[in-house]
Structure formats: structure tokens, C-alpha cells
């Protein structure tokens, strides 16, 4: 272990406290639970890699042999907050075979014909899998609210629907890990500028990003409401300061490690006669 | 570059020559196109990582901005030939965000109600994606033939159906990279034994594996027929010696690098006024 390892439980340090949410009061550039800087943070992440990989493989093995548990990581945050980077640097540490990533875009016409959770349910991880939602059902109380895509009476009831849905999920063995990547408006400007200054990043830029940025306060209000109203004991929110990419990657990986460790998946015992099989194999 | 880099094009070295296929004559433990050993091979793989990652990201960027091309890696091979290991060590080198892995098991009842390509079509990679098939439509001329799951007249016509299907795919911008992981019977025994001697690997073992192993020659015949009859110019087969895991990982990564390089995906140009956007962004 490095001198700067993440000693504290980030599931405690980063958990959103119950009650009213004031995002302006929550840090975007701090490194809660970690005393080191960027270099130490990258080393700490590398040190976590075998652990998260081992835990994921155990969960996968469990699912392969009749287990019913899975983990769903929900990533939410403003544009450039690093949902994609998290996929690469945190989720990328585990065996891709056991990972199912779903990136939710604007709903298709078919999706719009159904309840907002329809497409979400279809993307839930199977037993043993690590499911990742890059955006999620929360968009239906975020962009839907900010842009008035549906009338208020529609999105207003969705918080309770979401809580009920997530309680159902956890009851069915899905560990729901919800991360809000908390970015500052200033850092977003820096990142959008970087996309405009580097031709290899043009493809990540969309003029609509600036329009969305102009609604920053509306989005912060929508996020605050969503976080506050869906911060349940079954599926609590973690607020991850996201201005420092290395910390964001480290924190989310550590959250995964902690929640997977709590599940404590075990290598499944043999459901066959090991010596008998060895003998049978030796005759071939 | 290391002293032992893979200088030759493996797309040439490993391409199955046209004509009759005799698997017994094709090496399982050689390292075609690579002069070094395990250590050098692992180093060469690490050196390829940024290249394959860069190419995959360019393809993804292209798909994100209206491009229609994608790549489909088809992995076939006997049990323990390392389809899973390839996913981890080769496919795991690129951004998981741009990867879609499908592991085909025995068809479900719903799948059986459709043509054998139905489930395959549903799993094809979207534009920009790297799709991976861990087993594939080839099972329908392999296990289906060996176990007589369908009458001969059914599987016998499938070779042509597959060729037509793959020609259609390549015509639609899907680069199809088909790899047969060629394992020796002896090495399979070693790997199955290892699964029985290590409690963390019991979950990977299935008593049916020995039964399948008993049909080794039937499977080799089925593979030989499949390779011979579907080795088209549109979608040629690569025969990857798979007794050495490090070589298998290196070879498949190199094949991906070569085929992606041939596509030569470019960073998409800005479809907006860069200076105008910078000015607009600066006003926020």
C-alpha cells in the first residue's frame, strides 16, 4: 500500500447527508478522504486495480453459478464532468466480459411510447454483472425538467417512482451505486475550451453544450432536487468532486471496491466431484 | 519499439490459405511473425496498447459524427482456448465505452423460434463500435453439427447463408475479423486440469467440458469444414495458435491494429465554427 492510500470509507465520506441539498456548498475540487496529490492518487488507483478486478470476478463467478446479485453504477453529472473518463479509467480496470455499459441518449420514438423506466429496465445488469449507466433514469427529472419536455405534474411524481423502482432493484439483489460527478462551472469552461482547441477532440464538442451551459443554474437546481428527493437508504447518492480527474477516478473505483467488498462475493464451491472429474479428464 | 516487435503483417501470416483445411497441420504452439518469447511478447503487447486504443477511439469518433463503419471481432475456439482471456487482455486495452461484447450461449427458446442469424443481427455493433462475439453464428455449424441439434440438410446450407450474411455486413461497413483460437488437445487437458486444481477456478469448469472433449475429433472436423467453407475474401479467417496465451493476446491485438489501420479512421473535422464557439463559450 502507498503512504497515501485511501484509508477512510468513501461510502461514508462522500455519502450525501440527508436533508436539503445545497450543491454550492459541496466541494468540486477537494479530495475528500485522500491526503495525497495527483501522482499519489494515480498510484493509489493502480494499487486498487487488482482488488476491484478480483471482487468483480468473484461477483461474476457467483452470477455464473446461480447467484442473483449484481451491481449497478449510475453516473450522472453535467457535460464534461467525466462520465466517459470514469468508464475508461475506473470501469476499465475490470474484466470487460463482466461489464455492461449503457449510454442513455435522448429517448428514441419507440422509447417515448413507453414509461420512462422501460428502457432502463431493459438495460439492467444480469446476475453477476457490473452494469454501468452513463446517464440514466435521472435524466427524466433533469433535462426533462429544465427543458420542460414534459409538464411539471409528470416529472414531479417521478422522484417517488424512482425511489420505488430502486427499492425494488435493491430488493432483487442489485446494489445501486449512484454517483453525482460534481463539477464547477469554471472547470467545465476549461474542458469545453480544451475540446475546441484540440482537433482530436472536436468530435466531443457540440454547440448545444454551450446552450446547456447557459442553463447551468437551472440544472444545478434540478440536480439538487433530484439528489435530495432520491437519496434513500436503499440507494444513496455519493457526491464525487469532479474537478480533478485523478480524484474522480480514484474515488469511484474506491466506492466500487467498498460496495463490492460489502457484498463479499465468494468463489463458488464445486458442484461436481472434483477428484472424479480429474480422473475422468485423465482418461481422455 | 522493442527489439522483438511484430514486424510482419499478421493479417498475412495468420490468414488461412484458401483451399482444403487440415487443422492438424496448422501449429497451435508456434508464434508466427514474432521472434521473441513470453517476456518480449508481453512487452510488445503493452507497446501496442496506445496504438489500438487510439485507432479504436478514432473509429468511435467517426461513428459519433455520422460515420457508418464498425468492426466485428468473432472469437471461436474449443473450450479453454482463451476467448475470455482475449476479452480481458486484448479487448481490455481499449476504451470500454466503445466496445460491445456478446457472449453467445445455447439459444434460448425465443431465439430458437427464429432463424439462426436473428440473435446475431441483434448484437451487431453500431457505427463506430468494436463489437466482439464470444462464440457466434459459427456455433450453428459447429455444436449444431457435432450434436446433431438440427438435421444435416439444415446445417449444410448454413455455410452459404453465413457467407452471404458476412458479405452483406462488409458491404454495410462492418469489418469482420474472424479468429479461430487453435488449441492443442494436450493444452486443453492442462487448462481443464488447472481449473480442477484451483478452487478459484471451479466456477469455470463444467463436467460437460470433458464430454465435449471426448468429441474432439468431431469438433476439429466441424471446424475444418467451417473454416474451409467460410474463408471468403470479404471475411477471411485467421488461425491464431492459442497454446501460448501471451502470443494469442499479442496476435489478436495486432490483427485488430492492422485491420483498424487499414480503415484509417480520421478525427472528424469540426462541423461548427470553432472560433465562433470559442467566443460564445467565453461569454458564459
In the prediction, which pLDDT does A2 show?
Answer: 47
Asked if residues B107 and B119 have their Cβ atoms less than 8 Å apart, the reply is yes
Work out the minimum CA distance from A207 to partner chain B, whole angstroms. 7
In the prediction, which pLDDT does B201 show?
Answer: 97
Cβ contact, residue pair A214, B284, below 8 Å: yes
In the prediction, which pLDDT does A6 show?
Answer: 61
Model confidence pLDDT, tens digit, residues B131-153: 999 999 999 999 999 999 999 99
* pLDDT level of residue B233 (50, 70, 90 thresholds): very high
Asked if residues A56 and A95 have their Cβ atoms less than 8 Å apart, the reply is yes
Cβ contact, residue pair A281, B213, below 8 Å: yes
Asked if residues B202 and A274 have their Cβ atoms less than 8 Å apart, the reply is yes
Cα B97 to Cα A92: distance, rounded to the nearest angstrom: 9
Model confidence pLDDT, tens digit, residues A3-48: 456 668 999 999 999 999 999 999 999 999 999 999 999 999 999 9
User: Nearest Cα to B207, choosing from A99, A102, A281, A46?
Assistant: A281
B105 touches chain A (CB under 8 A): no
Q: Which of residues 1-60 of A touch B (CB under 8 A)?
A: none
Sign (positive or negative) of CA dihedral B149, B154, B155, B158: negative
Cβ contact, residue pair B267, A202, below 8 Å: yes
Cβ contact, residue pair A284, B189, below 8 Å: yes
In the prediction, which pLDDT does B7 show?
Answer: 66
For B55, the closest chain A residue by CA position comes to A200
Model confidence pLDDT, tens digit, residues B193-213: 999 999 999 999 999 999 999
A177's enclosing H/E stretch is strand A174-182
Model confidence pLDDT, tens digit, residues B57-115: 999 999 999 999 999 999 999 999 999 999 999 999 999 999 999 999 999 999 999 99
* pLDDT level of residue A138 (50, 70, 90 thresholds): very high
Q: B70-77 and A130-134 as β-strands: parallel, antiparallel, unpaired?
A: unpaired
In the prediction, which pLDDT does A8 show?
Answer: 83
Cβ contact, residue pair B95, A101, below 8 Å: no
The gap from C-alpha B255 to its chain's centroid, in whole angstroms, comes to 9
Cα B242 to Cα B263: distance, rounded to the nearest angstrom: 26
SS3 A158: helix
Q: Does the pLDDT value for residue B1 go beyond 50? A: no
* pLDDT level of residue A1 (50, 70, 90 thresholds): very low
Cα A246 to Cα A97: distance, rounded to the nearest angstrom: 25
Work out the minimum CA distance from B270 to partner chain A, whole angstroms. 5
- Among the partner-chain residues A91, A214, A281, the one whose CB lies closest to the CB of B96 is A91
In the prediction, which pLDDT does B8 show?
Answer: 83
Question: pLDDT above 90 covers what percent of chain B?
Answer: 97
Model confidence pLDDT, tens digit, residues A168-177: 999 999 999 9
- Give A20-27's long-range contacts (Cβ < 8 A, gap of 24+): A20/A228, A21/A224, A21/A225, A21/A227, A21/A228, A21/A231, A22/A224, A23/A182, A23/A220, A23/A223, A23/A224, A23/A227, A24/A220, A26/A182, A26/A239, A26/A241, A27/A182, A27/A241
User: Nearest Cα to B241, choosing from B47, B2, B33, B40?
Assistant: B33
Class of the CATH domain delimited by B10-282: alpha beta
Amino acid at each position: 500500500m502507498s503512504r497515501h492510500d485511501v484509508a477512510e470509507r468513501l461510502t461514508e465520506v462522500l455519502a450525501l447527508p440527508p436533508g436539503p441539498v445545497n450543491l454550492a456548498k459541496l466541494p468540486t475540487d477537494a479530495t475528500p478522504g485522500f491526503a495525497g496529490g495527483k501522482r499519489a492518487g494515480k498510484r493509489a488507483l493502480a494499487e486498487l486495480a487488482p482488488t476491484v478486478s478480483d471482487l468483480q470476478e468473484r461477483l461474476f463467478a457467483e452470477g455464473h453459478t446461480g447467484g442473483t446479485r449484481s451491481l449497478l453504477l449510475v453516473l450522472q453529472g453535467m457535460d464534461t464532468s467525466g462520465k466517459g473518463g470514469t468508464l475508461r479509467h475506473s470501469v476499465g480496470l475490470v474484466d470487460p466480459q463482466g461489464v455492461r455499459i449503457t449510454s442513455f441518449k435522448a429517448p428514441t420514438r419507440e422509447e417515448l411510447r413507453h414509461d420512462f423506466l422501460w428502457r432502463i429496465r431493459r438495460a439492467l445488469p444480469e446476475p453477476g454483472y457490473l452494469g454501468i449507466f452513463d446517464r440514466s433514469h435521472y435524466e427524466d427529472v433533469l433535462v426533462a425538467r429544465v427543458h420542460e419536455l414534459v409538464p411539471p405534474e409528470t416529472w414531479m411524481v417521478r422522484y417517488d417512482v424512482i425511489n420505488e423502482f430502486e427499492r425494488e432493484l435493491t430488493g432483487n439483489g442489485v446494489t445501486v451505486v449512484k454517483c453525482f460527478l460534481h463539477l464547477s462551472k469554471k472547470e467545465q469552461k476549461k474542458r469545453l475550451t480544451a475540446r475546441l482547441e484540440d482537433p482530436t477532440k472536436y468530435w466531443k464538442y457540440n454547440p448545444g453544450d454551450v446552450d446547456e451551459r447557459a442553463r447551468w443554474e437551472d440544472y444545478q437546481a434540478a440536480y439538487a432536487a433530484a439528489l435530495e428527493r432520491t437519496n434513500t437508504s436503499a440507494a444513496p447518492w455519493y457526491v464525487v468532486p469532479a474537478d480533478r480527474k485523478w480524484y474522480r477516478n480514484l474515488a469511484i473505483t474506491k466506492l466500487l471496491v467498498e460496495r463490492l467488498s460489502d457484498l463479499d462475493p465468494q468463489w463458488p464451491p464445486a458442484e461436481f466431484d472434483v477428484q472424479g472429474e480429474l480422473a475422468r479428464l485423465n482418461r481422455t
